[in-house]
Structure 1
Amino acid sequence: MRIAVTGGSGKLGSVVVRELRANGHNVVNLDVSGQRGPGFVRVDLTDYGQVIDALAGVNDQHDGIDALVHLGAIPAPGMLSDVATFHNNMPSTFNVFWAAVRLGIRRIVYASSETVLGLPFDVPPPYIPVDEEYPARPESVYSLVKHLEETMAVELVRWHPDLSITALRFSNVMWPEDYAAFPSYDADPRGRKWNLWGYIDARDGALAIERALEVAPPGFERFIIAAADTVMSKPNAELVAEVFPGVEVRGDLGEHDTMLSIDKARRLLGFEPQHSWRDEV
């Protein structure tokens, strides 16, 4: 496919661009920063004119695309002020989605966030493992934007029944070099309770995106995307008993199985994580 990736210079985006190209796709990176050269176009996503022009075609870089991967954003709460985060992320996503609709691009995969599940879980989750079945619980402006983006996607596919939008609620993205710190998390289980001890290897994030590009039907779906295991060496039963003793446990937690359920992604996308920090440390 000819694929545009917004934010293709970021932590997840750079790996997505690399992996999609390695698998034979023609990829253009639309970002405000990055290395000048083939496949890179500098675009301010808050400027609709730049967005629709870049998606339509850019000189010798590309002459149109088949699918869109939208990762460009301020990637976490607390990096900028709340207002700056909202004013960047919300208009950027609207501009990207609206330009795609106007240009006839009918396959969109984008980064939602695990934060819509209620992170940092200062209020405990309704049950463990968490899944996509309970209503969004944004606890920050960053997360509020992610919730609003999902709501916008629901309406866009209603207006355009041939449009496919897939929201991937990525867990904390990691590179292999990040794994050296993981054994230290065992000293204080509460230190990583904010996302139920979850993470996602960036290479598996790229895999989830490619699976969604290949198989997602028209309409909107949201998926939690996490590694198959937790960041902890301590067994799940001990973690939950210590940190979330009053929370309902649904099913068998396994010894180290992720508590951010990826069952839906496995079932509908055929997503199966290939990487674990336990293989690297």
Structure 2
Amino acid sequence: MSTQASQNASGNAALTLGESARPVKPRVVEVINFDRVRPKTASEDGKSGLGGAYRLVEIDLTDMGQVLEALCQIDMAYKGVQAVVHLAAMPSPGQSSSSKQFNTNVASTYNVLEACRKLGISNIVMASSETLIGIPLDIPPAKLPITEESPLLPESAYSLSKLVGETLAEQYVRWSTQSHRNPGAAAKIISMRFSNVMLEEEYATFADWQDDPKKRYWNCWGYIDARDGAEAIRLALDKDIQGHHAFIIANNRTLMATPSAELVKQVFPGVPYTPLNDHPNVTLLSNEKAKKMLGWDPKHDWKP
């Protein structure tokens, strides 16, 4: 590629993708998107969305051969990538059989990480999930707020697949330091534990649950604006670190008008709670690690 920085984003359906394809600060970035489904707006030359700002290549991420070929070169369209953002997954329990969801998500993550290892691609950001904390939280958390150090308690095939994905990331980082396994540099793999991703136009629906905290207790009333999720991805790509790092990506506030302390008292009575700061609606999903390590700070709030 002739660009100064080029990256692949796998998973066109992810809400954050449309935003992450927009460079936040001036620089030349070519985004190549891999997905099984081609949007209706895609043109014949593979350019799609955002005024043709990124290229879409149709592949099946559960097919290792297709993943390797796509990350390596597609005829004269492009050659090689410098970084990978892996967002592809079958999300949300109930969209397919549990076994299909688990097998698809794990196979695609393995294929992407293994292809990156073979090709020496060492800058990788991938979507993990807040569901690792035990969502839908029918079993109350041991304490609040939730942090990256909280116990990982997957309760669905989807969240279990995300736990396997993070385990794979840990081992691929370890392998990347072994010269007989890795042709490139030691890897950086960042797992983004995104909270419930929301688009700006969805804020109008937030009134629907304000009368009953139990309508949204299942993830500690967390969310993240898609634009802030995209900024977290950009910062993660730019961060000069090695190893595997997991980050909770959540807004600074909950999606409720009710104060956080009152929410905990009503829904999780008896659970120890130490607020992150003195804002009455402070998040119960700690984003402090992402702030400190990535320099990230969400800017878009449902209630300015």
Give the TM-score of the pair, scaled to structure 1. Answer: 0.95
The amino acid that maps onto 2:219 is N
Q: Cα distance, 1:135 vs. partner?
A: 2.8
Q: Within 5 A, what are the aligned runs for 1:1-281?
A: 1-19=5-23, 24-33=28-37, 34=39, 35-36=42-43, 37-38=46-47, 39-161=55-177, 162-252=186-276, 254-279=279-304
Q: Cα distance, 1:134 vs. partner?
A: 2.3
1:28 and 1:61 in contact (8 A); partners too = no
Give a deviation string over 1:1-25, Cα, whole Å, max 9, x none: 2000001343222222234697531
Query: Secondary structure of 1:18's partner?
Result: coil
Which protein shows a greater Rg? 2
Q: Which moved more, 1:2-11 or 1:143-152?
A: 2-11
Give a deviation string over 1:99-141, Cα, whole Å, max 9, x none: 0110010000000000001111100111111001123110111
Give the number of aligned pairs: 279
The separation in 1 between residues aligned to 2:216 and 2:35, in whole angstroms, is 31
The amino acid that maps onto 2:261 is A
More helix by share: 1
Q: Cα distance, 1:32 vs. partner?
A: 1.1
Q: Would you identify which runs of 4 or more consecutive aligned residues in structure 1 move more than 6 Å?
A: none
The amino acid that maps onto 1:170 is F
1:77 and 1:142 in contact (8 A); partners too = yes
Is there any run of 5+ residues in structure 1 with no aligned partner, and where? Answer: none
Root mean square deviation of aligned Cα: 1.5
Shift in alpha-carbon separation, 1:81–1:22, aligned structure 2, 3 A: farther
Q: Which moved more, 1:163-172 or 1:19-28?
A: 19-28
Q: Which moved more, 1:37-46 or 1:199-208?
A: 37-46
Query: Secondary structure of 2:16's partner?
Result: helix
Query: Secondary structure of 1:210's partner?
Result: helix
